Amino acid sequence: AKSNGRNNYQFFTADMNARASERLSLETSMRDALSRGEFEVFFQPQVGLEHGQIIGAEALVRWNHPTQGLVAPSKFIPIAEESRMIVPLGNWVLRRSCELAAQWQREGLPPITIAVNLSPLQLHQSNLLDLIQDALDTAGLDAKYLELEVTESVVMQEVEHVMAMLHGIKQLGVKLSLDDFGTGYSSLSYLKRFAFNKLKVDQSFVRDISSDANDAAIVLAIIGLGKTLGMSVLAEGVETDLQLEFLRRAQTDSIQGYLYSKPLPSDAFRLLMLENRPL
Ligand code: C2E
Ligand code: CA
Ligand code: CA
Ligand code: CA
């Protein structure tokens, strides 16, 4: 067993090296990927439970890597955060999303709200409010159709600065939602300090609502809390009719998940809106 230990160690380091070099190669190729047009924004519908219609869409970035194919966000977003590439990338996603939303409205499609993820590093740009206003002006999109999603981790750091920025965003007329709710820390104290328009219940709580009494209780509590504080509540990761039934009974305002649609390329999302299929 002792002699094996050494071999295991070698396998382990070989694996670590492979991962580290994959990481490095992704980081290097990400630098030029933006200018080469390798990123694309996909859209996943958000459906209101009252009428069963698409009321919004979350913008989710995709990377069409020239040799590795489609790279998942779970692989490159963390690298983009560490290398600060998330700042130019996130700003590009914001501009592109506003542009497409305005274009769809000009084509006569029913106006919807576009939700764009905002990373903690983006929130620390001193000119963020100007960047948002410029993205709206350039696209010709009314601020009320833009929503920015922040996670609880954002609100954790440099509270004063973050609060000031969130208030500034709200004053532009842009909406704010608290993403992945329930997975971070100190959620409750921030709910008291800032009036988010929407709470997004994390998919980890939604997954087993129809079988796990604890998850069901947590989701009911989050929905009640959100409503009491005057927020709209959206459940993420809804995949089954059973989950939908539970969420309907619990008076969730809207849902997002594979049950209605996966995130789609912009053209396919546009067709889905035209189709106007009820949930
Ligand atoms: P997120 O913001 O929580 O986005 C929701 C994720 O759940 C998306 O994964 C979406 O495809 C996935 N999802 C939606 N419905 C279902 C479902 O019914 N079942 C399951 N199992 N999954 C579902 P995606 O697109 O892979 O993105 C992963 C994460 O990457 C996002 O989590 C977000 O944190 C980050 N991300 C994606 N695009 C951006 C971006 O433009 N900027 C920033 N800062 N982060 C982004
Ligand atoms: Ca999100
Ligand atoms: Ca989320
Ligand atoms: Ca998430």
- For residue range 55-70, list pLDDT tens digits in order: 999 999 999 999 989 9
Q: Is 61 in the pocket of ligand 1 (CB under 6 A)?
A: yes
Identify the segments of the chain with pLDDT beneath 70: 1-12, 185-187
**For residues 254 and 90, what is the distance between their CA atoms, to the nearest angstrom?**
25
The ipTM, to two decimals, is: 0.98
Rounded (10°) angle between helices 128-139 and 86-106: 30
Residue 149 φ/ψ, nearest 5 degrees: -100, 125
Q: Is 258 in the pocket of ligand 1 (CB under 6 A)?
A: yes
Pocket of ligand 1 contains residue 222 by CB under 6 Å: no
Best of 117, 125, 179 to mutate for ligand 1, by most ligand atoms within 8 A of CB?
117
pLDDT given for residue 2 in this prediction: 44
Which ligand approaches the C-alpha of residue 60 most closely?
1
Report which ligand 1 atom has the smallest distance to the Cα of 180: 3
The verdict on the CB of residue 72 being under 6 Å from ligand 1 is yes
DSSP string of the chain? Answer: -HHHHHHHHHHHHHHHHHHHHHHHHHHHHHHHHTTTT-EEEEEEEEEETTT--EEEEEEEEEEEETTTEEEPHHHHHHHHHHTTTHHHHHHHHHHHHHHHHHHHHHTTPPP-EEEEE--HHHHT-TTHHHHHHHHHHHHT--GGGEEEEEEHHHHHSSHHHHHHHHHHHHHTT-EEEEEEETSSSSHHHHHHHS--SEEEE-HHHHTTTTT-HHHHHHHHHHHHHHHHTT-EEEE----SHHHHHHHHHTT-SEE-STTT---EEHHHHHHHHHHT---
The model carries a pTM of: 0.93
What pLDDT was estimated at residue 232?
A: 97
Distance 10 CA to ligand 4 centre (A): 34
pLDDT score for 80: 95
180 lines ligand 1 (CB under 6 A): yes
**What is the distance in A from the centroid of ligand 3 to the CA of 179?**
5
| Atom 30, ligand 1: residue with shortest CA distance | 73
pLDDT tens digits along 145-169: 999 999 887 777 788 889 999 999 9
| Residue whose C-alpha is closest to residue 41's, from 263, 272, 259 | 263
Ligand nearest to the backbone CA of 201: 3
Q: Which ligand ends up closest to the CA of 95?
A: 1
Q: What angle do CA 175, 180, 183 make, to 5 degrees?
A: 140
Q: With beta carbons less than 8 A apart as the criterion, state whether 140 and 179 touch.
A: no
